[in-house]
Structure 1
Amino acid sequence: MLEVSKLIQGNKRTAAKMISLIENEGEGKRELLSKIYPHTGNAHVIGITGSPGAGKSSLTDVLIKQARNNELKVGVIAVDPTSPISGGALLGDRIRMQEHALDKNVFIRSMGTRGCLGGLARASKDVVKVLDAYGCDIIIIETVGVGQSELDIMHYADTTLVVLTPGAGDHIQTIKAGIMEIADIFVINKSDLGNTKKIVTDIEQMLDMSPRYHGKWRPPVVETSTLAGLGIEELWSLIQQHLEASRASGELRVNVRERLKAEVMEMIEENLSNYLWDSLTQNGGIEQMLDDLVDRKIDPYTEANRIFQKFLTERSNVNV
């Protein structure tokens, strides 16, 4: 078993090995995460999402610089599309951030989606815990290029940046309800290209019409250019302001509670599913049940309820 004490002391090699074990669903994963958990909850998790080509990687790069200028330890989870040949991540994000490779206070990990939808890798939430325990003050999660419905980042990040670009087609199409409602900050990147007024106006009008922001944090719209260095310090300041505001209002704690509730329920469902499936397959009854379903001798609704009731009875007898 990998030593948690080494991770907490900031051993980079240990962190890398733990992340690999988690990604590969290695033996002892849950036991390891259980030991790590008490040492988590200190990092500010920043999610960066948006359409392909919006400049998310370049924005991540300049935010790393801002964090390091403030002497903060940074972890980056750069989610890339999975290679259809090797099954690994296409390491474009790490190439863009290679100038930080020798900085001992920057940990960058590229991860493949491995078929997981939502713009993230399946292991992302557990890797966040490793980087948190490793001592990162800031953890940046950069999603793959996403569309209107890939909203998983909202379940991982304390502050979510939705990155848009001017001249990228129909602005309203880009900021439909789903992706719009997860934004804590809207970033209009590549603003040096001009033509930003229209998209800024569209976002502000949509925010004006939404009752959910009245009396709460209203997502600001900031124009940036990583190439020209415009708006980066303003964006960094807004990220800190959002963290402070969400802490003061209690919203951060509420969001963390909801995330943990979802995570616990997900694990319970997985355990129950595995247990029920094992019990069905052990005596070969699954094949007969499927044949009867195909032949319409039974229906799936009654059968599912029967299996569940049997499970409850068995558990009740064990407890007695």
Structure 2
Amino acid sequence: MVILDLVNRLLDGDKRACARAITKAENNEPGSIEILKEVYKKTGNAHIVGITGPPGGGKSTLTYRLSKELSDRGKKVGIIAIDPTSPFTGGSILGDRIRMNKLSTDPNVFIRSMGTRGHLGGLSKATHGAIKIFDAFGCDYIFVETVGVGQSEVDIVKTADTVVMIMVPGLGDDIQAIKAGIMEIADIFAINKSDLDGAERTAGEIKMMVEMGTVEKKPPILNVIASQNEGIKELLNEIDDHKKYLISSGELEERRLARLRLEIVNLIEEEIKSRIFNDKEIYNLLDNILKDVYNKDIDPYSAKDKLFNAII
């Protein structure tokens, strides 16, 4: 009854209920799965935008500007900021904290920062649950800002409808270093801090790499200066254009089906791991099997079959 009351208040637009639901999901508290089950039928309306790029690229400032512009247009925005610490309270510079504090009083914007808690891929394990809750809460756009950029950051493409890759002038050889598996995930490139020297060169290098790619729709490349609010409206227009393209081409459905497939498989994996480590009988069986594998009495593949049969 308490869970249903929380869900109903969340669906009615209660910010406190939204915050409580996300906390439950993040901490895997009792009732969190029931909340996600209840809200799921109300999801699928928000456009999920991934914001990624190298550290120091100005991702937080850009996210702030985009969210402020959308709020001014009457749109409801959810922000999920992933960081090893807490980007808007403990891990960002003072300027970002001040800007985000101002945004947190905006009735159309809800900010939630999450630590990765050791989860690989640059995204918090609770991110998927928070996205569903924000979606059911009535957000038109959900921004997911990642930790930084690296090979593991491709996780964002499994979460977002549109991926915005933030670049900055002066990366030089770094563009070459991060291109494999990273440059290919971008739907839009935004060169932030474009008032710095080398902005045009960076744009040229990215354009050359984009043209070498195999994707049908070449991602646009925009120059922005987030700190001065320049190029923000143009970037939002590109995000909306990409959304229209995804819908008209059928790719939005394809991406979301792929995400659901991966999510269901991941849930099964988590359940299996939970059974192994929380069921004393199965855990003891694992210990016994380990000794047999170590002594070469059984191979790891046969050990897997034996353990799996015990689980199911």
Match of residue 236 from structure 1: 236
**Corresponding letter in the other structure for 2:69:** Q
**Counterparts of 2:61 and 2:293, CA distance in 1:** 53
Aligned counterpart in structure 2 of residue 168 of structure 1, from 160, 166, 171: 171
Match of residue 303 from structure 2: 303
Deviation digits for residues 93-142 of structure 1 (CA, Å, limit 9, x no counterpart): 55431111221111011111111122221100110001111111111111
**Range 88-97 or range 238-247, more displaced:** 88-97
Match of residue 252 from structure 1: 252
Q: Contact 2:171–2:202 at 8 Å: present in 1 too?
A: no
Deviation at 1:238, TM superposition (A): 0.5
Deviation at 1:30, TM superposition (A): 1.2
**Counterparts of 2:247 and 2:117, CA distance in 1:** 34
**Counterparts of 2:309 and 2:301, CA distance in 1:** 12
Q: Contact 2:184–2:213 at 8 Å: present in 1 too?
A: no
**Counterparts of 1:14 and 1:166, CA distance in 2:** 42
Say whether 1:29 aligns with 2:32: yes
Deviation at 1:195, TM superposition (A): 1.3
Match of residue 126 from structure 1: 129
TM-score, normalization: structure 2? 0.91
Match of residue 52 from structure 1: 55
Say whether 1:183 aligns with 2:175: no
User: How do residues 1-320 of structure 1 correspond to structure 2 at under 5 angstroms?
Assistant: 1-2=2-3, 3-82=6-85, 90-92=90-92, 94-213=97-216, 217-275=217-275, 281=281, 284-309=284-309
TM-score, normalization: structure 1? 0.89
Q: Contact 1:280–1:286 at 8 Å: present in 2 too?
A: no
**Counterparts of 2:229 and 2:285, CA distance in 1:** 65
Q: Check 1:190–1:305 CA distance in 2 against 1; reply closer, same or farther (3 A cut).
A: same
Deviation at 1:160, TM superposition (A): 0.5
**Corresponding letter in the other structure for 1:258:** A
The count of residues paired between Structure 1 and Structure 2 equals 305
**Corresponding letter in the other structure for 2:244:** E
Deviation digits for residues 54-97 of structure 1 (CA, Å, limit 9, x no counterpart): 000010011011101211011111112237xxxx9735355431
Match of residue 315 from structure 1: none
**Counterparts of 1:27 and 1:160, CA distance in 2:** 33
- Provide the alpha-carbon RMSD of the alignment: 2.1
Q: Contact 1:114–1:121 at 8 Å: present in 2 too?
A: yes
User: Alignment partner of 1:150: what SS?
Assistant: helix
Aligned-pair identity (%): 44
> Is there any run of 5+ residues in structure 2 with no aligned partner, and where?
none
**Counterparts of 1:207 and 1:223, CA distance in 2:** 16
Greater C-alpha radius of gyration: 1
**Counterparts of 1:136 and 1:53, CA distance in 2:** 28
**Counterparts of 2:306 and 2:183, CA distance in 1:** 43
User: Alignment partner of 2:48: what SS?
Assistant: strand
**Range 11-20 or range 289-298, more displaced:** 289-298
Q: Check 1:286–1:17 CA distance in 2 against 1; reply closer, same or farther (3 A cut).
A: same
**Counterparts of 2:47 and 2:35, CA distance in 1:** 22
Deviation at 1:27, TM superposition (A): 0.8
**Counterparts of 1:283 and 1:186, CA distance in 2:** 48
